[in-house]
Structure 1
Amino acid sequence: MANIIEVHDLAAPELTLFSHLTEAQLRNRSDPEKGIFIAESSKVIKLALKYGCKPLAFLMERKRITGQAQDIIRECGDVSIYTGDRELLAKLTGYKLTRGILCALTRPKLAAAENLITKARRIAVLDGITDSTNVGAIFRSAAALGMDAILITPSCCDPLCRRSVRVSMGTIFQLPWARIGEDISILRTWGFKTVAMALNLDSVGIEDKKLAAEKRLALIFGSEGYGLSSAVIAACDYAVKIPMAHQVDSLNVAAASAVAFWQLRI
């Protein structure tokens, strides 16, 4: 049976999960398996539960308890549900709750990258992308447009940060992903041709038929401001660009990823 608790004291220690912990503290870098993350909206929370994440606590508007969250509550047994009016909860979190529901969950255990991609033919590699909105949007496009998996380098934003999870619309739980080191040359030993998405003068166009003909491709996307480093580009089999019109210099990385995923899908 649900353990419903009215929020009166915004400084109550049991609410720290939703109010004071930074993303780095939630992640628990020293012991990731003990880390947690925050999911927003009933749709995203349902997907997280479906794919094995365990709920630790809920924060939700009072009206959601007998509304869109009631089936989730039934599924989660006696997990604590902290509740109050929308304005009060916004004071606690510092932002308005998306569709009135937050859930703190255990982080999923990630597979080793080399084990995750044994049968993959098209994967994305995110290197140095620091905007959580872009990371979430890339996951959503990758899932929708047929990528088999995503690999994350150490310099990339955590895909399980709150905003990334929300923007991904839960696809972060549906699409396999794993972490990889800085040295992307290992992708070649795993049987992939590597594609640096970069607007270099010697880049080939994304419509190049040689690209589509490759059996296994790893599409590598770089930071929002500077793109991929020259070292990463030099280490790749291809440097590939999306042709631009009207003197536009580039696309946002999330938009560029969607174009690349569509063009090079199998």
Structure 2
Amino acid sequence: MAELIEITDPADPRLADYRDLRDVELRKSLEAERGLFLAEGAKVVRRAAAAGHRARSFLMAPRWLAGLADVLDASDAPCYVISEALAEQVTGFHVHRGALASLERRPLPTVAEVLDGARSVLVCEDIVDHTNVGAIFRCGAALGFDAVLLAPRCADPLYRRSVKVAMGTVFAVPWTRLPDWYDALPALERAGFTTVALTLAEDAVEIEQAVAGVDRVALVLGSEGHGLSERWQQTASRRAVIPMHAGVDSLNVAAATAVACYVTARRSPAKVSP
């Protein structure tokens, strides 16, 4: 059972995991160095605990203790109980969801482990916005995708903002980082996936056509600015586009992911030879 510890001093060193949460660069280096990540909000904290992530500590306003009593009962980590005003002073923002948890990161699985048994996966190249990464995970989870693969320069799915936007689905969808950016898509092809790149390339076909009859599919998504690199566009086996109207040429990557996942999840089945 978690020990409840009331803290009234914002400089208390036990609150170090929760300081300056708005400073992205500081948090990225600190969390990597300490091997931790933060979950915000009762629902996300609960999902992280259910996924087996070990808590280092909890930070809660008194009114949230009862709602997370079962999570606290199952943990031996300390729970720091502070006022909401003090929480804002420590973290740098108003913690309106009332509960935070600092949890231990686990070693990432291999690509082969993540792909084992998967039929539909998302592959992200250089998506650097944490909000977009979280939204992509949420779309994939909601629409039945089995895994997410991230190029080395993608934003961290376990950064607090990503976890929050994903509503904790980063704990439910298997994911890892690709060790080899250059030949990542050919490697997926060898693993039995048809790679479908979302792009405005001239030879791109409508997404419904691109995924029709495909058994194991990997939807390939590009960065927020210029989209997919030329290398990934050329090494994908198919290029697909979402039809647009009213002079709009593209959607935000998170919105495009939602549309593409919806279409792909309802693709016609692969033909089986007699």
TM-score over 0.5 for the pair: yes
CA deviation vs aligned residue, 1:114-171 (integer Å, no higher than 9, x gap):
1221321111001101111111111111011011111111010010000101111111
Corresponding position: 1:71 with 2:76: no
Q: Say if 1:124 and 1:218, in contact at 8 Å, map to a contact too.
A: yes
Secondary structure at the residue paired with 2:70?
helix
Superposed, 1:131-170 pairs within 5 Å as 131-170=129-168
CA deviation vs aligned residue, 1:1-23 (integer Å, no higher than 9, x gap):
43222222222222110005512
Secondary structure at the residue paired with 2:208?
coil
Secondary structure at the residue paired with 1:213?
coil
Secondary structure at the residue paired with 1:219?
strand
Q: Please, which moves more after superposition, 106-115 or 164-173?
A: 106-115
- Which segments of 5 or more consecutive residues in structure 2 lack a partner in the other structure? 21-25, 267-274
Task: Please report how far the alpha carbon of residue 263 of structure 1 lies from its aligned counterpart in structure 2 after TM superposition.
Answer: 0.4
The CA distance in 1 between the partners of 2:50 and 2:6, in whole Å, is: 27
Superposed, 1:250-265 pairs within 5 Å as 250-265=250-265
Corresponding position: 1:243 with 2:248: no
Query: Which of structure 1's runs of 4+ aligned residues deviate more than 3 A?
Result: none
The CA distance in 1 between the partners of 2:137 and 2:86, in whole Å, is: 32
Count residues with an aligned counterpart: 258
The letter of the residue matching 1:132 is H
CA deviation vs aligned residue, 1:146-201 (integer Å, no higher than 9, x gap):
11111111010010000101111111111111111313221111111111111122
- Tell me the residue number matched to 1:99: 97
Give TM-score, length-normalised by structure 1. 0.92
- Tell me the residue number matched to 1:31: none
The letter of the residue matching 1:260 is A
Q: Please, which moves more after superposition, 13-22 or 52-61?
A: 13-22
The letter of the residue matching 2:257 is S
Task: Please report how far the alpha carbon of residue 98 of structure 1 lies from its aligned counterpart in structure 2 after TM superposition.
Answer: 4.4
Superposed, 1:17-166 pairs within 5 Å as 17-20=17-20, 22-28=27-33, 35-65=35-65, 67-77=66-76, 79-166=77-164
The CA distance in 2 between the partners of 1:72 and 1:115, in whole Å, is: 29
Superposed, 1:4-23 pairs within 5 Å as 4-20=4-20, 22-23=27-28
The letter of the residue matching 1:189 is R
CA deviation vs aligned residue, 1:191-221 (integer Å, no higher than 9, x gap):
111111111222111121x522111111111
Q: Say if 1:52 and 1:108, in contact at 8 Å, map to a contact too.
A: no
The CA distance in 1 between the partners of 2:70 and 2:113, in whole Å, is: 35
The letter of the residue matching 1:22 is R
- Which segments of 5 or more consecutive residues in structure 1 lack a partner in the other structure? 29-33
The CA distance in 2 between the partners of 1:254 and 1:164, in whole Å, is: 12
Task: Please report how far the alpha carbon of residue 71 of structure 1 lies from its aligned counterpart in structure 2 after TM superposition.
Answer: 2.0
Give TM-score, length-normalised by structure 2. 0.89
Corresponding position: 1:205 with 2:210: no
Secondary structure at the residue paired with 1:194?
strand
